[in-house]
Amino acid sequence: METSSPIVEIKNLFKSYLRGSQVVPVLEDITFDIAEGEFLALMGPSGSGKSTLLNLIAGIDEPDSGIIKVGGIDITGLTEVELAHWRALNVGFIFQFYNLIPVLTAFENVELPLLLSHLSRSERRDHVEIALKVVSLMDRMDHYPGQLSGGQQQRVAIARAVVTYPAILVADEPTGDLDRHSAEEIMELMDRLNVESGKTIIMVTHDPRAAGKAHVMRQLDKGVLNNASPQDHL
């Protein structure tokens, strides 16, 4: 796949946490770019800083120092209010445990991010139906999460992530709670979103099979980023 200009630019990123009075470094001097349309897998042992890096790129967490630009915007310079607005417009989130609201239907769960938009009710319905068609769940739109399999719940979560047409999708162990068959289906879906829709995907995973769908794999070890490892697209 041909790469284009970077959609994410990270320069000299540092992040640490306080554990009591002790400063624990998590990320040390991270610098790299992510091209628009890239499918990137972040791998490494537990505690290596993968999810922290993902959260920083998504604007969920703030670095100690360094620059993160997404679509040319330095998100490290935004206020909390500006950052919340930016996230709502630019980032789609896919989590290991789906994070669906049990008392809402699949349709209502997917619609949630749009309630903050200026879309009319009919426009929201159009967006939700398109997203549910993408994940092949139109026939389950009135079902509650408890009536869906794990794979179906994750597909609802993916529909919710793409319904706002975000600039980037961030996925934290998206297959970690699924059986092998469901995991393969989810990765095929994410591959299609990347290839057919051109979505930029940044994924944290421990699963080599999931990572095999990515174009580029980067390894984190004790907060240090190893060189990119391009791989064949399966």
pLDDT computed for residue 4 by the predictor: 62
Total domains, the chain: 1
- 168-204 pLDDT, tens digit per residue, is 999 999 988 888 898 999 999 999 999 988 899 999 9
Question: H or E element: which one contains 225?
Answer: strand 224-225
The mean per-residue pLDDT over the stretch 146-166 comes to 94
How would residue 66 be classed by pLDDT, with cut points 50, 70 and 90?
A: very high
How would residue 230 be classed by pLDDT, with cut points 50, 70 and 90?
A: low
Q: Is 13 left (phi over 0), alpha (psi -120 to 50) or beta?
A: beta
Q: Is residue 11 part of a domain?
A: no
Residue 129: CATH number of its domain: 3.40.50.300
- 88-136 pLDDT, tens digit per residue, is 889 999 988 888 999 999 999 999 999 888 889 999 999 999 999 999 9
Start-end of H helices in 105-218: 106-111, 121-134, 150-162, 180-197, 208-211
Q: Is residue 128 part of a domain?
A: yes
Domain with 110 in it: 36-64+77-230
Q: Is residue 22 part of a domain?
A: no
